[in-house]
Amino acid sequence: MRTFRVTKRDVMPRNKEYAVRIMAVLLSIVFAGIIMLFFGLNPLEIFKSLIVGSVGTQMRIKQTLIKAIPLCIASLGISVAFKMKFWNIGAEGQITLGAAAATFVALNLGEATPKPLMLLAMAAAAVVAGGLWAFIPAIFKAKLGTNETIFTLMLNYIAIKFVMYLQYGPWIDPAAQGFPKIAMFSENAILPAVFGVHIGWIIALLLVAFVYIFINKTKKGYEISVVGQSVETARYAGMNISSIIITAMLLSGGMCGLVGMIQASAIEKSLVYSIANNYGFTAIITAWLARLNSVAILLVCVVFAMLIQGGAYIQIAMNVPSSVSSIVQGTILFFVLGSEFFLQYKIGRMPQLQKEVA
């Protein structure tokens, strides 16, 4: 009788690794097309429209980039925590509180404040707020060993409901005649544009380089990677596990908080409780698809932004539900994450069992 066994791979050659990943993406596209056929849709037309809707005109390219910016920065923040095997599912809340802190600065410093000083103060407040919101589950994990997945997830809803309270209560704009709306930012609190897109894209590129250098070239980044691979090895090497966890989460939450400032300043020009717009959850997908590599995160986030923008286009132009874009995203995620199994393990037959004859 022959049975199968799963064994850990030693090292897969780079060319075979790329082949597996490319095959996973191709299969995901094929199966997404099959699903569309079941719904009576033409997959070739849908895929063509997704591309046209995301990069077909200069305006659509700008909208795609605008969606890629928060997704990229949030993914970078999440990747730092995930590198340490700390499952930070709280990016939505960190983005929301970062936006709230930036809004507080924008509404209270006043129009007389120089624009560079205003924007720096808003960014600093957002980074601190996001970092502190991530610090809460980090300190509980470091000292009490709590489950960070549930902890960070629940903190999302607290942050969102808190900002909803501000929007409908203390921060409501008196000039809005009872409409639950926070006052718009003054001109000195709005991020400037470069080449038609707000400077968040420059910030995103700088953070890609920063995270790459931090993780791969610094002592603290090396410690984060070691903790992610084996806590016991890190402890045996004399590393301060609690300090590493807290440092990584402050950095992770700080970058997510900065996303909130960018969205509030450049997109909404105010604060709304839905400002995170699910970027924090989508960033979990993109960070995993990029295997926590900062350069790959940039590319994956642009592709996902194209799917988001293209999905909005086909909903309007072709009267197709935007959930079709979600089907494509989900299918790609399923196959790419599934390919990770074959990259790390191999399946083989066990030798035929020989029965002893008495």
User: Which residues fall within 8 angstroms of residue 290, CB to CB, at 6 or more apart?
Assistant: 75, 79, 296, 297, 299, 300
**Which token pair is 44?**
């070739």
In this predicted structure, what is the pLDDT of residue 356?
46
Instruction: Tell me the angle at which helices 200-217 and 58-83 cross, rounded to the nearest 10 degrees.
Output: 30
Given this model, what pLDDT does residue 352 score?
58
pLDDT at 350: 65
Structural domain tally of the chain? 1
Question: What is the rounded CA–CA span in Å between residue 130 and residue 125?
Answer: 9
Cβ-based neighbour number of residue 301 at 10 Å? 29
Q: What is the pLDDT of residue 312?
A: 84
Domain-embedded: residue 121:
yes
Query: Which residues form the domain of 272?
Result: 68-292
Residue-level pLDDT at 67: 96
Q: Are 275 and 263 in contact (CB under 8 A)?
A: yes
For residues 110 and 105, what is the distance between their CA atoms, to the nearest angstrom? Answer: 9
pLDDT < 70: residue spans in the chain: 1-2, 4, 322, 350-358
Q: Is residue 345 part of a domain?
A: no
Q: Is residue 310 part of a domain?
A: no
Going by C-alpha positions, the residue among 282, 294, 295 that lies closest to residue 332 is: 282
Contacts of 3 (CB under 8 A, 6+ apart): 349, 350
Residue 51 counted as domain residue = no
- Residues 159 and 162: their CA atoms lie apart, in Å, by 5
Q: 340 is written with which tokens?
A: 């990770």
End-to-end CA distance of the chain: 19
63 falls within a domain: no
Q: How far apart are CA 68 and CA 1, in angstroms?
A: 53
Tell me if 303 is assigned to some domain: no
Does residue 193 lie within any of the structural domains? yes
pTM equals: 0.90
At 339 the pLDDT is 82
Asked if the structure places residue 344 within a domain, the reply is no
